[in-house]
Structure 1
Amino acid sequence: MQRFTLIPAVHIFFVREGQVLLLRRANTGYEDGNYSVVAGHIDGNEEVTSAAIREAREEAGVEILAGDVQVVGVMHRLSNDERVDFFVAVERWSGEICNMEPDKCDDLRWFAWDDLPDNIIPYVRRALHNYRQGVWFDSVGFDREE
């Protein structure tokens, strides 16, 4: 009997001066044209903070230190498959943020918290809202009232 598995991912909220960094997905086949945050799957035998550090380097071209990564939320999510998403906030990094994956992202920019674009992936919008409200855990997509 095969054991049930979840797909884990880490999402990074780069935060500065009342703004959050968003990227617009392109050419990926998933939510293209919609905004998200720097994110990626957690590799096997990889801790959440280590995955965030790796994704920040791979997608945004910056270095972050483990001590500057703050886990701010977890979401258990059911869509086409079942996932667990970890959300981290980062306020310090070294280097200049830039689009390291122009084949997967056609816009990378800062948005004021009070002026976010309408086309954010819904669960990411919810996670950003949860972060601002101090909600640490959420479940999305199950048969209970949302």
Structure 2
Amino acid sequence: MNQREAPRPTLPVGDLLSEPIPELAPRLLGGRAGLRRDIRVAAPERPGLALAGHPEALQAGTVQLLGKSEVVYLAQIPDDQRRLLLDRLGAAPIACLLLAHGAAPHTDLLEACERHGLPLLGTPRTTERATEILGRHLEERLAPAITLHG
């Protein structure tokens, strides 16, 4: 019997909006042009290092979760610094951003997402709850498959 590992599955960001995930209740806030970007990593991440000026720390194909601390930080830094950081974030090879707590996106965030075709999703859930729900959903959807031939 031959055993072969199939290519790792991916999930287009748009599927998060069309699949029933009532616990997460995701909605599109911006960056519609990027809904075909693929999610390749099941664990949602936080972009803290990228917002501190290290966008190379972002893993390709991830969902980056923006919680209260990221929103507060972005609101407090100077406009030109915020625009530069968000432009770098938008240009990164990530799948999408997910804004937690039902927070309204900063205008600069919306503009960067639109400019780079980076989907910006929102959820009313807390950061911790969104991480848990989305992580569980992505673990199921992105689980590797093994094909057996015999």
TM, length-normalised to structure 1: 0.24
Structure of higher CA gyration radius: 2
User: Comparing both chains, which one has the higher relative contact order based on Cα–Cα distances under 8 Å and sequence gaps of 6 or more?
Assistant: 2
Instruction: Give the number of the structure whose residues are more often strand, by fraction.
Output: 1
Structure number with the higher helix fraction is 2
- TM-score, with normalisation over the residues of structure 2? 0.24
